[in-house]
Amino acid sequence: MSGDEAFVMVAATVVSLFAWGDWYVRLWRMFAPRCPGWYRALLTLGPPVCLIALAWAVSRYDSAEVKESAFYILLFTAVGAVTLRLTLPLLNLLRLDVPGQAVAQGNAAALPAVVGAWLAATALNIGANIGEGDTIYTALGPLALAGALLAGFALAVVAMTGVTTAITSGREPAAGMRFGALLLAASLPLARAAAGDWVSSAANLRAFAAAIPLLFALLLLGWLAEKLLTGRRGGLLAGALPAGVFLLIAVAVRP
């Protein structure tokens, strides 16, 4: 354990505890009597479940040194907690205020969008922690780049499609499903680019560059889906089917 690693561990733990604590307090203070309890249960349990999945993946697929150390597992889980927490200001920037929409206003359409963002962040963390590397920065560097690209992708989707209007004003659960699945689908090629044994910065950048065409294809499909399906209430046809197509393409197409 180096000084840098101890600092990252302490900083990530402190930031995640304070940031998530503040969010949970606000979440439950915004309780609305008409809001179903399962809304709040999903938003409460979602992050811990994602972090448990991340810790398990790190303990199974990270480098030999990390898998054998509880310190490193906790370190990368704490980093994952910070990453998950950063999805919430991003969603707010996209006009998807999570406690306000899902709890105070009882808007079920916001839930799949939030869950998709959390799963996407978890996928990025898992991908960044697969493989061997000399330092923690061979995981944190690709994670930061993947996160920046995913945030840019989310901003482009909203700018091109206006999907958040369908979620917030239209209250269309199908729109929330499409958006959440699109975020998760976009995270998969980025997670693959971040994964693997560390070779060099140049090799890592080439891996991310190879994922960009698939991101553009998903962006185009998302735009087309919103053009054709916004306003349709059918959960299967307008929501689950395009969401499945996004994910199938992201899994099947390997840059």
* Span 208-237, average pLDDT: 87
Instruction: Read off the pLDDT band of 255 (50, 70, 90).
Output: confident
Residue 109 has a CB neighbour count (10 Å cut-off) of 24
b/e burial code for range 53-65 (CB count within 10 A of at least 16 → b): bbbebbbeebbee
How many residues in total does the chain contain? Answer: 255
Q: Is the pLDDT of residue 236 over 80?
A: no
Residues 6+ apart with CB under 8 A from 121: 50, 80, 83, 84, 86, 87, 147, 150, 187
Q: Which domain holds residue 202?
A: 3-252
23 pLDDT higher than 90: no
Task: Compare 22 and 213 and report the one with higher pLDDT.
Answer: 213
**How crowded is residue 248: how many other Cβ atoms within 10 Å of its Cβ?**
11
Alpha carbon separation from 255 to 190, 214, 237, 247 (Å, rounded):
10, 8, 29, 15
pLDDT at position 58? 92
Per-residue pLDDT tens for 36-82? 777 888 889 999 999 999 999 999 888 878 888 888 899 999 999 99
Count CA within 13 A, CB hemisphere, residue 28: 8
- Per residue in 173-211, pLDDT (tens digit) is 888 999 999 999 999 999 999 998 888 889 999 999 999
Domain count, the chain: 1
Nearest to 179 by CA among 123, 88, 115: 115
User: Tokens for 134?
Assistant: 């000399």
Query: What is the tens place of the pLDDT at every residue in 79-104?
Result: 999 999 999 999 888 888 766 666 66
